[in-house]
Amino acid sequence: MESVYERGRRSWISEKICLKDYFSAFSAAIPTLSSTENTDSVENDDTGNASIWNLMDHTFTNEEIRILSETCSIDQLQVPDEPPLVDVKCVKARPGLFDKCKIPAAASNLETLKCLSKRIVNDQTVGHLKYRSNIWITDAVHQTQDLEIGKHLIVTVRVYHPFRHKVGVRISNPPRCSQEVVLLGEQMLTRLRDKIVCPSDLAVSGELSENPDQKFTQRTMDIYKSGFIFIEDTFYNDHRDRANLDYSRVIRDWAVTHGLGPFKTAFMEKTKFEDLTVRLGYPYVYQHQGNCEHLIVFSDVRLLHKSDSLSSHNYPSFRSISSTNAQYCMICNYFVARWLTCENERVPYDPCFFCEHCFRSYNYIDGNKVGHFKAYPFFDRTAV
């Protein structure tokens, strides 16, 4: 990974940090407030300010501190003729291929094109923004306060969509962040794995073309529970189920024959985040369902603040998820796909995506299968 990622060219990557040791030393150096204290007193805590200035090796008078606070206020981060603020949550995506097509006047009465025109993005929308595809969310909030300010670690992990990679071929589009998860330092790595949402976990194990009405209760996540998270030189394997496989074994065996390593293994369910040694901004790997790989990045680690939830029941929680374009039916191009067919002799696509209505009306007559094909229920992020 060191030679592939070229860490020296990426200034945002931190040095290795042992989270528990680093923040234990930091929290011991400054006074902290318990969650039961009045939060209004935090802003006027002269003792806390004095300790912070001492850590910075500077001594300021109260007047100098006031002037410095006013000078560094975010209200000063404006310039004349600055563009108005944009609500990122309301920014629409860039126009797609169909959005750029002009509908001929002669075909304007077609119902399909009328429906399509409703999805066309207005040309006056704001252009590209880096975080326009992020949906900022808040999980259900518990009122119980059992966490103490400054005594607990908050870890933010960015999980990326899987992507195809060929050795020696550079991809033009970097992987996109799928979700951002916030956890406590004392929580186990398995809490992160259980929070990650991936469509490959939702797939149904089996082919249902002969009986699409068959009730299925098991998904791949219920059958294939193995997985690992690779951080630095250690594979953290999930051994909560006795039938789980060690996915890292084949990788470690391959590494030995190529002079790489040595690599260590550990139990995912017995490892806390605060016990990790990580580099912020550096990509690590989460693998499950055989060969479904996600890059994960520790984007932020800090102490619990008064503005954070003080209930342990609220962790882990999603901070944001990416908006996902749904896969539409290839027949009507109107409804979202819910079925996928392979080896279908009657369509020009393989695989081919169908909505519920088109799947049954096109592939079945009076409930009887027409032609040869294999059918599988289709899930993506829009179906979660």
Give 48-82 pLDDT, tens digit per residue: 566 666 666 667 777 887 888 888 887 777 777 77
Domain with CATH 3.10.290 in the chain: 2-36+128-166+173-322
Average pLDDT over residues 233-239: 93
Asked if the model's pLDDT at residue 337 lies above 70, the reply is: yes
Tell me, yes or no, if the pTM score tops 0.95.
no
Give 82-103 pLDDT, tens digit per residue: 766 655 444 444 444 444 556 6
Architecture of domain 2-36+128-166+173-322: Roll (3.10)
**119: Cβ contacts below 8 Å, ≥ 6 apart:** 98, 99
First to last CA, the chain: 32
Give the range among 21-25, 42-46, 201-205, 370-374 with minimum mean pLDDT. 42-46
Rounded to 5°, angle at Cα 196 from 195 and 198: 140
Of 123, 66, 132, the closest CA to residue 100 belongs to 123
SS3 content of the chain, % helix, strand, coil (to 5): 30, 20, 50
Question: Pick the residue with more confidence: 178 or 93?
Answer: 178
Give 246-271 pLDDT, tens digit per residue: 999 999 999 999 888 789 999 999 99
pLDDT at 127 (0 to 100): 46
pLDDT at 202 (0 to 100): 80
Q: How confident is the model at residue 37 (pLDDT cuts 50, 70, 90)?
A: very low
Considering Cα of 317, then 133, then 166, then 232, what sign does the dihedral take? Answer: negative
Average pLDDT over residues 361-365: 91
Considering Cα of 19, then 24, then 26, then 31, what sign does the dihedral take? Answer: positive
Give 108-166 pLDDT, tens digit per residue: 677 777 766 665 544 334 444 555 567 777 656 667 788 888 888 999 999 998 877 66
Average pLDDT over all residues of the chain? 79
Asked if the model's pLDDT at residue 13 lies above 70, the reply is: yes
Q: Which phi and psi (to 5°) does residue 273 adopt?
A: -60, -40
